[in-house]
Structure 1
């Protein structure tokens, strides 16, 4: 179940800093981004992108496990991607291999559109 958005990413980062007694620079170091990136999240500045990279949001959950992935994604205004077990990945690949090249291209376009929708609107 998706976490309900009760705080924005700036508020979550402040709470994370207080909980773990870390600086924005330390957060940045732990998730592999520039300190300016975390500062932009805190000050709600948007660059040319469409918000935080989902991989960096996941990295926050790994580096600071008191904050769940759904909670972090919700604060960023996004739905957290679903889990993909090795078994599920294998089943998807088996199905993929049975599609024609044209069908694979159509499915790839569809998946990109869905991922983009999740990335940009949080819907």
Structure 2
């Protein structure tokens, strides 16, 4: 699999976000539902980029930044879209599996998701 191309790291993306939206770390934290200290650790490169759910929230709250550029700055692959219909189909298939098969699929999906954390 190819790695995402990115020219900026997550700290640089946060700085660009602050400039583009004219917000400080406290305002970013408030909008994302995290502590200002957490945002500060991102900008100081003291903590790895946040989980995928927080990256998704950044793209929702700050729409001038695409999912692709946010995930790339976090050194992650962008997850594919998952429509309501696709979610329902996946759950229907999953419900038809034996308990052992369900455990195996969970292990497989967890491994794939972790692989996306380059």
Match in the other structure for 2:40: 39
1:13 is aligned to 14
TM-score (norm 1): 0.88
Q: Do residues 30 (structure 1) and 28 (structure 2) align?
A: no
The 5 A counterparts of 1:93-112 are 93-112=91-110
Cα offset, 1:36, TM superposition: 0.8
Tell me what 2:61 maps to.
Answer: 63
SS at match of 2:116: helix
Report deviation, 1:82. 1.2
Deviation at 1:67, TM superposition (A): 0.3
CA contact (8 A) 2:4 2:75 kept: no
Structure 2: unaligned runs, 5 residues or longer: none
Per-residue deviation at 1:95?
Answer: 1.1
What do the CA deviations read for 1:24-65 (whole angstroms, capped 9, x no partner)?
A: 11001000000111111111112xxx5412111111111110
Runs ≥4 residues deviating over 6 A: none
Aligned residues, how many?
A: 116
Alpha-carbon RMSD across the aligned residues, in angstroms, is 1.5
Could you tell me the TM-score, scaled by structure 2's length? 0.91
Cα distance in 1, alignment partners of residues 4 and 20 from structure 2: 19
